Amino acid sequence: MEMETKKKVLSCIQPSGMLTLGNYLGALKNWLNMQEEFDCTFAVADLHAITVRQEPAKLRQQIYSTYALLLALGLDPEKSTLFIQSHVAAHSQLSWLLSCYTQFGEMSRMTQFKDKSAKHADNVNVGLFSYPVLMAADILLYKPDFVPVGADQKQHLEIARDIAERFNGIYGDVFTVPEPYIAKTGARVMSLQDPTKKMSKSDENLNSWVAILDSPDDIMRKFKRAVTDSEARVCIGEEKHGINNLIGIYSAITGKTAEQITAEFEGKGYGDFKLAVGEAVVEELRPIRERYDAIIKDKAALEVLYREGAQKAEYAARKTLAKAMKKVGFVL
């Protein structure tokens, strides 16, 4: 009985390369925190990944690796539905349908499209443009109440809400209009080398980002080299982007407030603070890396889990897809 009253949560992550501390604190850690309280569905968004060119063998590896990482984080396939987006055909199907209820003008305003089409000017494909429609399909198929994402995905979520409202306005109550769920701390982790930019795995400066699977030595080295300022006091400040970022990271991991952190490091230099942040990150990520190493070795066990996950997802997704198709006037 209690199971049925749980609110629903849906989110996805792209298997595009090594996941970073930004992905972890901005997105994945929230997923884990939501697992007990909500009925959660999480997917590896492989269909989204091909909006930029991918090397097939590498993409395949990254899909496995991202799925294994979800398990290593502590997401439990008994409690949550964990699957690979392309295994559930309803995502592509609903995406086409929704694209006919989405205006060219609203897609053109998406900042991620503008950024990514500037970055990949030689491959501004239609998929990159309609990416938010596929994301809307991912979401609306599962009727979630909440969608946890980093701050940079908020605009896409708003479009998903607009599309749902528009469709419901024409056909009645088909989709649930979901709320964004953006964590207060860790919502935006910045680059360790240029703390005015977000931490991003596509940054060529490898010292600017920490991968979830980095070794402890690499993590410590990157934090020791993190760019700060010349003031030498551990506190939040308007121009102290580097320190603000380190405080944000430390706070997201330890649960301490910025004031508590300032008090803890009163009279100490940035060197001590950087070491403490590095150590906190190492200890946070250590069990994840260790579990990951074990999980990724057993591809057969992994396959059983992602097949079962797809079956569970498919069941929910098909129901919503059928309802939407029927409303539009298709023969079922």
By a kind-dependent CB cut-off of 5 to 8 A, residue 313 interacts, out of ligand ATP, ligand LTN, none, with: none
- Asked if 41 touches ligand LTN (CB under 6 A), the answer is no
Parallel/antiparallel/unpaired status of strands 179-181 and 8-13 = unpaired
Parallel/antiparallel/unpaired status of strands 146-148 and 81-84 = unpaired
By a kind-dependent CB cut-off of 5 to 8 A, residue 320 interacts, out of ligand ATP, ligand LTN, none, with: none
Region near ligand ATP per CB under 6 A, out of 160-168, 200-208, 217-225, 319-327: 200-208
Burial 207-223 (b: 16+ CB within 10 A, else e): bbbbbbbbeeeebbebb
Question: Which of 62, 102, 153, 185 touches ligand ATP by CB under 6 A?
Answer: 153
- Asked if 241 touches ligand LTN (CB under 6 A), the answer is no
> How many Å apart are CA 94 and CA 199, to the nearest integer?
32
- Asked if 12 touches ligand LTN (CB under 6 A), the answer is yes
Region near ligand LTN per CB under 6 A, out of 34-42, 135-143, 206-214, 215-223: 135-143
Is 202 in contact with 217 (CB distance < 8 Å)?
no
Three-state SS at 74: coil
- List the Cα angle 211/212/218 in 5-degree steps: 55
Residues 23-62 interacting with ligand ATP (rule: CB under 6 A):
23, 26-27
> How many Å apart are CA 290 and CA 293, to the nearest integer?
5
Contacts with ligand ATP by CB under 6 A lie at: 13-14, 16, 20, 22-23, 26-27, 149-150, 152-153, 187-189, 198-202
Contacts with ligand LTN by CB under 6 A lie at: 10-14, 45, 48, 135, 138-139, 147, 149, 153, 156
